[in-house]
Structure 1
Amino acid sequence: MENQSSRRQFLGTTAALLSGVVLSNTKLFGAPALIRSLGDKPNSLINGVQVGVITYSFRDMPDQSAEATLQYVLDSGASAIELMGGPAETFAGAPKSSVDMRTMYPLMRKKRENQTLTDDEQKTLTEMETQMKAYREEMAKWRQSASMSKFEQVKKMFNQAGVTIYGFKPDAFSMQNTDAEIDYGMKAAKTLGANQVTLEHPANDAHTLKLGKMAQQHGIRVGYHGHEQQTPTFWDTALAQSPGNAMNFDLGHYIAAGQPDPLGLIREKHSRIASMHIKDRQTPAHGKGNLPWGQGDTPLREVLSLIRDQKYTFPATVELEYKVPDGSTSVAEVKKCINYCRNMLS
């Protein structure tokens, strides 16, 4: 009877949430599948290690709504996530962007990794960056009056399905965002149940000082993400500025940067790591490739075992960046990655 009661309560809550979605004209993709999954909640807390996923991993999926994103998470077997801004803000009524991020993300990555863009690629990226600038201005206006009640609904929908949101990554914390947008983003994160917001390290000491102080006021932390510019001292200035500043350490990029001792870094700074991205990359000597797990040089087993054995509490976040094989999907590949973690920690 207890299980039936909890199931009825779950159905009632989900129905109420989804009826609210209908009223807000948000797409209902994934809702029937979600209801079919009610009795089978995911669990990616593995021997004390919280394995999660950043929803950026599902960027190639056609539907980026909150409901569809939740279904991707459930199908991958993850029970905790770092949530990108798009799904939550769209649910909350944000203006729709005309930029195709599935096209823009690979071009941004290619540019960031100093790969040569073709003339057509550079033209496309420049046009998209112009569109994104205009969209950010539109978003800044919307955020001035955005209701937190919609973010509360997102939290309830995910939590009722067995998924917690530990991180939130909207495009609201960069140097081009206003203080009002930053404040909004941190309020939204708290409403979603997150204990951290994440962003690319801005490489600006004044900005990290401001973000750290604002994070303290909101009772959360700012996790700064790095790519191949990560070094053992990469975060030191920000960490010294405020207890509100923390690391969103990327293990795979650290290996691709040629850094020799990620376990030493983790041991030294574990209390300041808010979350860690995991992927399997090669060292520079082997080409820096981003490969299916088990084929690269990243010490995934050693790092996950360290987290388990030392009882570190920060989540290890799957970030899918290797090429999805023909015939597969990003959801299926994330599931493989989580199962890979499960096997290593068993």
Structure 2
Amino acid sequence: MTEKLTMAVIGFGKSATRYHLPYLMLRTKLQVKWVYARHLNKRPAQQDFYQQQGVNFTDDVTTVLNDASVKLVTICLPPALHFEFAKRCLEAGKNVLVEKPFTSTVAEAQELFALAQQRGLLVMPYQNRRFDGEFLALQQVLQVGYLGEPLELESHFDHYRPDHTAKQGTPADGAFYGLGSHLVDQVVALFGRPQQVSYDIRAQQNPASTVDDYYDVSLFYPNFKATVKSSSLVAQPYPRFILHGTQGSFIKYGIDQQENDLKAGLTPAAAGFGDDSPKLFGELNYQNANGDWINKQLPTPRGDYGRVYDSLYDSILHGAAPLVSEEEAITDLEILAAGFSQLSPSIYQL
């Protein structure tokens, strides 16, 4: 019989109800025993649905921490609370998965990793966008080697969402920490630690804001550059990925469909959930070994954010290497933090 991993979710907002629980309900090897919600019955219909699936709700976090059967806790709280609650969970003997951004500072992350190592536990950031369909397609292009040696990557995640109100907050509340944490991690997962990073991070819509809504950040490697960029004032769709190599190029339009399907009320079990439209399949144009130019579409693999939990199960119960290594998590945070260490535009040597 397959051993079950009993777990809890701390937080019952959009993160928990959209990006975690729908996937967890399909995984027979994991059992969500508890959900901590600061305000019970704030979302009565959703709470009732999960209670019918055998999930218990509490507004006392110590109930979760004192339950010896709980081996994994997922933290879905505002960024300012990530470090505090992750530390409490580790001290209570729980493995921990933390929503992005992992922590507010590199020092906080290092303290959590050191504590986890002392206790023989795992703590990891939730980098679910390693399982975006378009990222899996990009990964496939690199693994097969269609384009020869990669030379330049552009990674865009844009919207058109005008909002000119002045917003106040910390760097952790802005777009670079919020969304850039995913795009930076995707680059680090593929290419490792860069040598140098350049930054253009701004409050584009209202310069009086202390919270950024625009970033254009380049990561430099030997003979390779990756640029991650996001803006809320892009009305014409731009390619999600543009990759150039010594033997050709790959262009992919469109963002992973899992989030759109979840917003529409579909579950990951629904037929066609998360499937990409064929008209948005990536296009390869490359020169093969015979010198012939090949132009073809690359079907987008189906994304599945629940695969993060599959990897956690194997890591916690079978000792497999974590999906996101400590070195990758620290590099991600160092790149994020360095973007605010001096006025933008700036350059940081890693």
- Asked if TM exceeds 0.5, the reply is no
> Which of these two proteins has the greater Rg computed from alpha carbons?
2
Into which bin does the TM-score normalised by the smaller protein fall?
A: 0.3 to 0.5
Give the structure with the higher percent helix.
Answer: 1
Give the structure with the higher percent strand.
Answer: 2
